[in-house]
Structure 1
Amino acid sequence: MKPMRAMLLLLLTSPVLASNAQRSALEETARREAALVVDSTTDREQVAPLLAAFQQRYPYLQVAYRDLSGADIYRRAVSGQQHGDVLWSSAMDLQIKLVNEGLALRYSSPQKAALPGWASWRDEVYGTTFEPIVLAYDRRRIAAQDVPESHTALRRALRTHGVHWRVASYDVEASGAGYFFFSQDSRHNPEFWEMAAALGQRMRYQEGNSLTLLKRLQRGEADIAYNVLGPYAWRFAQQHPQVGWVLPQDYTLVVSRLQLIHKSARHPAAARLWVDFVLSREGQQVLAKGSGLPPIRNDLPRRLGTVDLDREAAKLRPIQVGSGLLVYLDSAKRSLFLRRWREQLPASLQQP
């Protein structure tokens, strides 16, 4: 082989060899750690296929997966005690707060290039899913032609004297997800407080999660469920066809479950393997097929049931992962927002 050609070949293969060597070193360190602790807001049953695939890939790791609320994950992380190596939470604002407080380990995942630009921040936190927030309804009470297909249409319908729809939504004061969804609504909807007044007038139930809201529809206790996570609505409607759902046509917020590695992780190498696997094509495909969670990667199709989310891109508003999520965690802004929200509710639902 001529010297010039040999040198060129060496230059081309060196990065690949270096990458492979780094990967081997990472896996060898993880093998010595032998364990991984994941704290997550996602039900273990829902991500069982992902856990099984990860364990098959890395059988030498003993994985402890703990179901916790977003608030509990945050509290454990801040206290420095009994926190997981990986923190995986749908409470996007609290995850960003952990990063802002210096509690995330910086890690530039090799999978980062496949993610949308809005889905990561400072190489410390990564989005893992693409989940639209939808409007769910009781098909037995609301005919197809009467289903409101936008926030504006819903507000107008609720203001109509002949419409007596009963509304269920998140408990904005008690639920971190509820507060987050509604505060993000206020940033995207210039008529948000008019909308809040219409919702409050018809509000009958305030809950802590999407599944409970959907069960209110199933039991005939509510007609509209506002701000429901799309994957939950889709899965629930498959089992209970009396429940329908739509993507609001004016705008549809998209949230993502964020994962980070705690700065004091006891098993940092294993945590890096987990982050990479969840973001990899294989991990994303398992999440999509096994858990019904649309993938975050740009090189995979995003679907919610029969809905092609990529074709709906014009109306989708992915929530930017970054410091902007801290705005409504400011205590003064939060107090003002909650006070205004409380004023919209009937007396029976107002908290002291």
Structure 2
Amino acid sequence: MIRMVILLVALIGGTGAKAQELTDRIGPADAARELRVRSTTDLEVLRPVLESFLETRPDTAILYEQWLSNSLYRRSIEECEAGSPGADLVISSAVHQLVEFVNRACAASYVSEVTAMLPSDLSWRDELWGITREPAVIVYNRDLVPPEEVPRSRFDLLDTLRNAPERYSGRIATYDIEASGLGFLFAYADSLEATTFGGLLEAFGRTNAVATCCSAEIMDAVSSGKYLIAYNILGSYAFGLAKRNPHLGIVAPSDYTLMLSRGAVLPRGARNRALAAQLVDYLLPPSGQDSLRQANLNTDLDALLEKGAVPEGFGASQLRSIELSPKLLVASDRHKRLLFKEVWLNAFPED
């Protein structure tokens, strides 16, 4: 009963973590126009892309707010229901929340030559667009995980945890699905895709795996050796950090690799909707996609091969896109979330 109450409180009120992580202004101080962008994307990752957008708009500045996904969703819904203006553009990795946002008639419709060219799995109702392509990967400490124990698939990860439970006890990490909307989305997608999902939860529970909130926190801990392996980490952040840190190894699982397209929506009450639409149109064509690729926010099969995250022979069929569609509404269903979190807490019990 206590656990059910905790879950209900989490569903209603969300995590107690801070909501808005930072705010920064990009562009000239005397800019005549200001675009408010709220996003779950780390600013230092997205900053070069935004600066590139502003290069041809000297009269424009961007007020960038970096949020945790659950808090960003709640704030966006509150403003929609109150009919008050907030962000001009919302960008989130927790795309099931954006599908729900659109479904609640909180987003504005927009059509351009660029948005019309998107494939159906990257666009929904002309109100939600997938702007990136990012894999969910396994990160490990190269110095502390023996080569023969590096998990190249979920089956390998199960074998590693079963064969050396003492070595990995308390040293496996993944996203906390209550603190991280992205973590919930990846875990939910795994539950639909993977025959290994139940086994992984059992193995995580047996080895006292740690569920925590944030990519940077998890990867810093893997780098330091506090954790040895991290599961289902967003590859865009992992690849960026691995460039500077030789201790980090990255694997895109060979049984299948989830591919996320970070979503963008124009809130219905946006003050500067036309300017926000210009940013959407900048991000989607090849030039914008190249900027995102340089920021590790756009990763295709060739890039995974080039980065050594997959072996030769890894095929496009092993990449499983998370489709932007009404199918994701199931992930937001209150009853299903409650049941799913109950299963999760059996593997990650609260202290």
Q: Residue in 1 aligned with 2:64?
A: 65
1:326 and 1:307 map into 2 onto residues whose CA distance is 35
Equivalent residue, structure 2, for 1:120: 123
Would you say 1:105 and 2:81 are equivalent positions?
Answer: no
The offset of 1:162, in angstroms, is 6.3
Q: Does 1:306 align with 2:307?
A: yes
- Secondary structure at the aligned position of 1:73 is classed as helix
CA contact (8 A) 1:86 1:262 kept: yes
Q: Which moved more, 1:238-247 or 1:138-147?
A: 138-147
8 Å CA contact 1:157, 1:163 repeated in 2: no
Code of the aligned partner of 1:155: L
For residue 319 of structure 1, the aligned residue among 296, 319, 322 is 322
1:292 aligns with 2:293: no
| 1:210 maps to 2:215 | yes
Picking from 84, 87, 95, the partner of 1:84 is: 87
* 2:203 is aligned with 1:198: yes
On the 8 A contact 1:168/1:203 being kept in 2, the answer is no
When residues 132 and 69 of structure 1 are mapped into structure 2, their CA distance, relative to the original with a 3 A threshold, is: same
Q: Which amino acid is the alignment partner of residue 237 of structure 1? A: A
Q: Match for residue 238 of structure 1?
A: 243
- Secondary structure at 2:343 match in 1: helix
CA shift, 1:82, in A, is: 5.3
Task: Give, in whole Å, the separation in 2 of the partners of 1:213 and 1:293.
Answer: 19
Measure the CA separation in 2 of the matches of 1:75 and 1:109. Answer: 29
**Letter of the 1:218 counterpart:** S
Contact 2:201-2:347 within 8 A present in 1 as well: yes
Q: Distance between the aligned counterparts of 2:87 and 2:299, measured in 1? A: 24
What pairs with 1:25-36 in structure 2 (closer than 5 Å)?
Answer: 34-36=33-35
Residues 253-289 of structure 1, C-alpha deviations (whole Å, 9 max, x = no match):
0111100111111111111111101112221111212
Where do 5+ consecutive residues of structure 2 fail to align? 1-31
Q: In the alignment, what sits opposite 1:22?
A: none
Label 1:234 to 1:270 Cα distance change in 2 as closer, same or farther (>3 A): same
How far apart in 2 are the matches of 1:56 and 1:37? 17
- Aligned residue number for residue 154 of structure 2: 151
State the identity as a percent.
34
Amino acid at match of 1:149: R
Name the structure 1 match of 2:194. 189
Whether the aligned pair in 2 keeps the contact of 1:89 and 1:257 (CA below 8 Å) is yes
Task: Report the counterpart of residue 27 of structure 1 in structure 2.
Answer: none
- How many pairs align? 312
1:55 alignment counterpart: 54
Alpha-carbon distance in 2 for matches of 1:232, 1:50:
15
| Aligned-partner Cα distance in 2 for 1:311–1:168 | 26
Corresponding residue to 2:272 among 232, 243, 267: 267
The equivalent position to 2:281 in structure 1, one of 271, 276, 279, is 276
Letter in 2 for 1:189: A
- The answer to whether the 8 A contact 1:287-1:295 is kept is no
| Alignment check: 8 A CA contact 1:302 1:308 kept | no
- State the AA in 1 paired with 2:297: L
* Residue 18 of structure 2: aligned partner: none
CA distance in 2 between counterparts of 1:295 and 1:109 reads 25
TM-score, normalised by the number of residues in structure 1:
0.82
Q: Distance in 1 between matches of 2:245 and 2:176?
A: 24
Amino acid at match of 1:63: I
User: CA–CA distance in 2 between the matches of 1:118 and 1:107?
Assistant: 17
The secondary structure found in structure 2 opposite 1:148 is coil
Residue 20 of structure 2 aligns with which residue? none
Deviation at 1:208, TM superposition (A): 0.7
Question: Is the Cα contact below 8 Å between 1:294 and 1:302 reproduced in 2?
Answer: no
For residues 150 and 166 of structure 2, the distance between their equivalents in structure 1, rounded to whole angstroms, comes to: 12
Q: Is the 8 A contact 1:285 1:295 kept in 2?
A: no
83 and 109 in structure 1: CA distance in 2 versus 1, 3 angstrom threshold: same
| C-alpha separation in 2, matches of 1:288 and 1:222 | 28
Distance 1:85 1:132 in 2: 27
Q: Which amino acid counterpart does residue 292 of structure 1 have in structure 2?
A: N
Change (3 A) 1:95 1:340: same
* 1:254 and 2:253 are equivalent in the alignment: no
The AA in structure 1 aligned to 2:46 is V
**Aligned-residue offset at 1:114:** 4.5
State the distance in 1 between where 2:228 and 2:92 align: 29
Instruction: Work out which of the two has the higher radius of gyration on C-alpha atoms and give 1 or 2.
Output: 1
